[in-house]
Structure 1
Amino acid sequence: MTRLPDVSIPRLLLVGLTLTVVAAVVGYGSVSSAAFGAYNSGWDGTSALRSTAAGTGAQVTVAQETDAYDRAAPRRTVAFVVAPTSTYDSRAILRLREFVRRGGVLVVAADDNESVNYLLQGLGARARLDGRPLRDARVNFRTPAMPVVSTGPNQSLVSGVDGVTLNYGTAVRPRGATVVLNTSEYAYLDTNRNGTIDEGERLAARPVATVERIGAGRVVAVSDASVFINAMLDRPGNRQFVRELVDGRSRVLVDSSHAARLPPVRAALWAVRDSPLVQFGLGAAVVGLLGVVSRRSGALDALRRRWDGDPGVERSAVDREQLVAYLERQHPEWERERIERVVSAMRDDE
């Protein structure tokens, strides 16, 4: 019968505590609390955007840098730029524009109208975001600040969507782009932001999403990034809106290059995956660590064999001090601390 290792209760508790701490650190480092974060599972994150897209059967990738567009297969990919927190520079915009011109679909959803309008201009799109708060006094979800919008006339891009709910969004000025989603005729732009309709603020149907062709691809401009947050995807029509945008594409690219940075563990995994140099360094470190452990184990085994073969020692009667004295004779160059560690290891394995 195989003899089970004799493991002390304190050691088991230490191992359990260590595993718990490691699991907590990894778990905390794998998620994000940043608004619109791709790995934020809170109400204001977009983790549900990833899972909804994956539910269509598409392969979902979260991109930390815009060079991911260079590796994408444009005709099979739809990319989401949701609430960028910084402005894309000319080099990044060129990458996105080339992705679209080669057949990609790019969905740009606003939170900061200025940076999004700059991106749309750089892409060669005509649509622009208005920036003024959009309200609908009659067709809304609980408050005029959350209009419920419907598909535009003859719009096949999202033909399966019955309605989409906005959350403190704005309007899109199409300027020749095709309207995808429209408010009711009871909507207005709250120019002075006082929450009520005043003189000069007229009721009318307002576009909130457009599509236009650029090269072989398309750019979809959505006036409210909140459509894609976790809390809003539970509203009727919002999740289906995502499915319709992904429909027909086998790959989804969630662009986090100009949004909240990836959590540290996710960023580390991304670095390892995409860098052969990092992979080599990590592999070398693991091999080196295994070598050190193996050498230490081999040296300890050799010491045990010498100890067992010494005719001057009665193992049955040995105590800790005798073992210390034996090691001091065998290795006078060792420090007392090292001898104590070796004695502990040898006695634990008896």
Structure 2
Amino acid sequence: MGDSTARYARYAVVGLALLVLLSLGAGVATSTAAFSAYNAAWDGSTNLEEIAATGETELSVATTVDSAYERSEDSIVIVLSPDRAYTEAEQTQIRQYVDEGGTLLVAEDFGSQTTSLLRGVGARSRIDGRLLRDERRYYRTPNITLASGTNNSTLIGPEQTLTLNHGTAIRANGTTILANSSEFSYLDTNRNYALDDQESLESRPVVTRESVGEGTVLVVSDPSLFINAMSDRSGNRQFIGAVLEEYDRAVVDDSHAERVPPLFAWLFWLRSSPLAQVALGTLALGGVGLATTHRRVVSSVFDSDEITVDADQDVILAYLGAEHPEWDTADVKRLIAGVIPDQHKRDDDD
């Protein structure tokens, strides 16, 4: 009876430990942030990858401006309501990407961060920032307005419908209008959710396109058009698919928003830092060296005296040199020396 109880208790402890590990793993590998490509809930944007794959477009997420705008050829970068403003230097970098033929899609409703970005890249369209309502042509509530494509658009036709969820309008300023709200829409300036005397009914742009240098800037007046709940709407899905399928490469620029889970953020950082890769590889090989040097400790865990691997500094240096010949030998030596003490000295001391 006692042995059985103890055994079940051990099973319970192991099961609880696994549950905790799985919960922690889900926490570091997923996100709850709105617009996040790692958030599968209604306000995430995991659907974008599926839509991109349908058109054979490779979709990725970038956490730095350098990685997002590194290639302009046959490429589109998507900016969804950033949390922080882009610096002048970053705007110059993005302007160069567009000038050289890249496409930039900016989707915003009420945030102010994209105004300076659009100005900085040389675009003329501007986000209005007031709530767009339509009490005649809407989905579920007047705040979820419907818009139609124009004859100027190859991305959405006049017979197709876009659904905007608490979106705004665009001041087109002479750019090409791809979609308009209905003639019954108005901008709710004072946010009282009613048409007042100073507010007028008229059709307003919600998607525009313009040429900048050799590239293109697309502006959408509602970033939530790209979230999972709204991208399931047929017109929205067709529009997103039509935009993405024109390019081999699509990148979601999350460099100015906290939307990437910790695990992926760490992996992105590691991939972009050769020095960190050297340090991690050195630590890993150093761990092997320490474990094999003190094999009596390992034997006590694994009940084996047969594990013997020599991993001194010369071996590690030769391995890293073969794997990454572009790394500076002196830097690698300094890193190894900082992680692994002199192997032969320890042997003599023993």
Q: TM-score, normalised by structure 1?
A: 0.78
Task: State which drifts further: 225-234 or 151-160.
Answer: 151-160
Counterpart for residue 262 of structure 1: 260
Amino acid at match of 1:51: E
Counterpart for residue 28 of structure 1: 27
Counterpart for residue 332 of structure 2: none
* TM-aligned CA distance change 1:132 to 1:18, over 3 Å: same
Deviations 1:304-327 (A, max 9, x none): 98xxxxxxxxxxxxxxxxxxxxxx
* From 105, 108, 124, the counterpart of 2:106: 108
1:249 and 2:241 correspond: no
* TM-aligned CA distance change 1:13 to 1:195, over 3 Å: closer
Task: State which drifts further: 290-299 or 62-71.
Answer: 290-299
Structure 1 residue 152, shift from structure 2 partner: 1.5
Counterpart for residue 52 of structure 1: 51
- Quick one: distance in 1 between partners of 2:299 and 2:44? 54
Counterpart for residue 62 of structure 1: 61
Counterpart for residue 170 of structure 1: 168
- Quick one: distance in 1 between partners of 2:187 and 2:235? 23
Counterpart for residue 143 of structure 1: 141
Aligned positions, number: 297
Contact 1:64–1:261 (Cα < 8 Å) also in 2? no
Alignment partner of 2:115: what SS? helix
* TM-aligned CA distance change 1:164 to 1:173, over 3 Å: same
Contact 1:151–1:180 (Cα < 8 Å) also in 2? yes
Amino acid at match of 1:260: E
Alignment partner of 1:36: what SS? coil
Task: State which drifts further: 219-228 or 9-18.
Answer: 9-18
Structure 1 residue 70, shift from structure 2 partner: 4.5
- Quick one: distance in 2 between partners of 1:200 and 1:9? 73
Contact 1:102–1:216 (Cα < 8 Å) also in 2? yes
Q: TM-score, normalised by structure 2?
A: 0.78
How well do the aligned residues superpose, as a CA RMSD in angstroms?
A: 2.5
Alignment partner of 2:92: what SS? helix
Contact 1:161–1:241 (Cα < 8 Å) also in 2? no
Amino acid at match of 1:76: D
Structure 1 residue 280, shift from structure 2 partner: 1.5
* TM-aligned CA distance change 1:259 to 1:112, over 3 Å: farther
Identity of aligned residues (%): 40
- Quick one: distance in 2 between partners of 1:109 and 1:304? 60
Question: Radius of gyration: which is bigger?
Answer: 1
- Quick one: distance in 2 between partners of 1:265 and 1:281? 18
* TM-aligned CA distance change 1:166 to 1:70, over 3 Å: closer
Counterpart for residue 316 of structure 2: none
Structure 1 residue 88, shift from structure 2 partner: 0.8
1:89 and 2:87 correspond: yes
Alignment partner of 1:148: what SS? strand
Structure 1 residue 21, shift from structure 2 partner: 3.4
Counterpart for residue 118 of structure 2: 120
Instruction: Return 5+ residue gaps in structure 2 as ranges.
Output: 1-6, 306-350
* From 202, 205, 212, the counterpart of 1:204: 202
* TM-aligned CA distance change 1:299 to 1:125, over 3 Å: closer
- Quick one: distance in 2 between partners of 1:160 and 1:28? 43
- Quick one: distance in 2 between partners of 1:273 and 1:40? 22
- Quick one: distance in 2 between partners of 1:184 and 1:198? 18
* From 264, 267, 287, the counterpart of 2:285: 287
Counterpart for residue 186 of structure 1: 184
Deviations 1:23-57 (A, max 9, x none): 33222101111222221222112222233223322
* TM-aligned CA distance change 1:70 to 1:106, over 3 Å: closer
Contact 2:291–2:298 (Cα < 8 Å) also in 1? no
Task: State which drifts further: 12-21 or 145-154.
Answer: 12-21
Task: State which drifts further: 196-205 or 80-89.
Answer: 196-205
Amino acid at match of 2:185: A
Counterpart for residue 73 of structure 2: 75
Contact 1:84–1:111 (Cα < 8 Å) also in 2? no
* From 232, 236, 239, the counterpart of 1:238: 236
